[in-house]
Structure 1
């Protein structure tokens, strides 16, 4: 008899997902290979998910829902996958992305990396691939990360688009991600972004030095009711803030940041120079 691993659904969200998958599969009298054949995966893959050795993905969850007749229901595995995904994202980020998708004004600052809403697919894929090589995420999670980012970007393309103001530390465009071809495309995409009628792009030059008010990602939203929201991150935590006094303080710092940055014209000129110099 094949050894059967006992499951502990209390061990974590992925363990609970796997245990429920096994229970519903066995209730139908299916072996792992039977389910695998119905959803287009291998029996080994199904086993890995059931024993929490392999994280579930949205694609896998949707296929399971179709096979089990759970698509669109409150008990769907896609819904459970969404809860797992939100659980591993930094606190506050899922809610922030939802608010960003309907904000009237968006202000972003980042250093080191081009922020998600402005990343090209190639740039995003290079970052995701590097995370796979570091064994931080799986290949499937990398693919999902890129797809989710593309969905986030799509939510900003509306009939009445938001005003999007972006300040990038110079390091964002000096740091090579994905090699020369990827960076050329990324720089070109930034130039195109700056040409849009609802955008503003500025670079915070290295000469700003110690006077730059932010050291990490800062996102500021103005919603349609004119309320304001901020989202900031540390290495391990995200923080969504609706407190007016706190957000206004960040808004003031953002305005001071802009005052010390290159103009949009000078920013685009620098981007053109960088594009010509990219090997």
Structure 2
């Protein structure tokens, strides 16, 4: 029997297929035996393993049940479905949706959790203009922004602390009406009982501890997860020993940033065109 060799670096589909095959081989199951356990055909298993058919969320969730992998396959399958996203981000989103506390710092643009749909669309339209992504991928990104925000509408609400570099609120995105609505969204966010919104002013200079966006999540079991992005990929860190220094630096950032009252006042002035 010919066995197609897989290169997990080739694509997210190939990486998922390799993981599925490895789990099956470890248990000594044939493709048909795995198919019987999952309620599909051996041909379907073969197509997913060789990357010819992308795994649906239902397929990945079913595979997690059969292998007892605790949701890892479902999280990996998101990288296949969300092709326009940086490596590591789809898995981060699954943690974000369960976090008890979210602390984030953003540079340059308003972060996705606070974006209006119009602002998100304007941001992605520019990426399409630069031919960095396709129109379909832009729609995918805008859709994910809405899904992420919807996932946070739960009870109890997560505690969300946001520090925006001043460039986030000074950089225009789309026509004036889009920015006016976005400023309104930020002001509404600051009024919520479980949120804190601060602006890190340009005057902080070298006292700003981060030069790239950073997020620290506190999970329901009080474990910590951090997420940071470079231009090419995202990195998820789950070791508390590595996340604690980032959390300490975040607290320093909050201490140096404008208070929420001063930050709201700045945004209100920008909205009125005073600054």
Q: TM exceeds 0.5?
A: yes
1:221 aligned residue: 217
2:112 aligned residue: 116
- Relative to 1, partners in 2 of residues 1:182 and 1:12: Cα closer, same or farther, differing over 3 Å? same
Aligned 8 A contact 1:167 1:201 in 2: yes
2:110 equivalent to 1:135: no
2:176 aligned residue: 180
- Relative to 1, partners in 2 of residues 1:269 and 1:236: Cα closer, same or farther, differing over 3 Å? same
Matches within 5 A, 1:1-279: 13=11, 82-86=78-82, 89-277=85-273
CA–CA distance in 2 between the matches of 1:71 and 1:87?
14
The CA RMSD over aligned residues, in Å, is 3.0
Aligned 8 A contact 2:225 2:237 in 1: yes
Give the superposition deviation at 1:84.
2.7
Secondary structure of 2:178's counterpart equals: helix
CA–CA distance in 2 between the matches of 1:183 and 1:104?
30
Give the superposition deviation at 1:278.
7.8
Secondary structure of 2:236's counterpart equals: strand
- Note the alpha carbon deviations across 1:173-205, whole angstroms, 9 max, x for none: 000011211111111100000000000000001
Secondary structure of 2:222's counterpart equals: coil
Where in structure 1 are there 5+ consecutive unaligned residues? Answer: 1-8, 17-60, 62-69
TM-score normalized with structure 2 length = 0.72
CA–CA distance in 1 between the matches of 2:243 and 2:59?
38
Aligned 8 A contact 1:108 1:220 in 2: yes
- Note the alpha carbon deviations across 1:14-53, whole angstroms, 9 max, x for none: 999xxxxxxxxxxxxxxxxxxxxxxxxxxxxxxxxxxxxx
Give the superposition deviation at 1:108.
0.5
Secondary structure of 1:240's counterpart equals: strand
CA–CA distance in 2 between the matches of 1:148 and 1:130?
17
1:35 aligned residue: none
Give the superposition deviation at 1:90.
2.2
- Relative to 1, partners in 2 of residues 1:242 and 1:14: Cα closer, same or farther, differing over 3 Å? closer
Where in structure 2 are there 5+ consecutive unaligned residues? Answer: 1-5, 15-53, 61-73
CA–CA distance in 1 between the matches of 2:267 and 2:219?
31
- Relative to 1, partners in 2 of residues 1:135 and 1:267: Cα closer, same or farther, differing over 3 Å? same
TM-score normalized with structure 1 length = 0.71
Give the superposition deviation at 1:89.
2.9
Aligned 8 A contact 2:114 2:186 in 1: yes
Give the superposition deviation at 1:73.
5.3
Give the superposition deviation at 1:256.
0.4
- Relative to 1, partners in 2 of residues 1:118 and 1:251: Cα closer, same or farther, differing over 3 Å? same
Q: How many residues align?
A: 218
- Relative to 1, partners in 2 of residues 1:255 and 1:72: Cα closer, same or farther, differing over 3 Å? closer
2:36 aligned residue: none
Aligned 8 A contact 1:122 1:182 in 2: yes
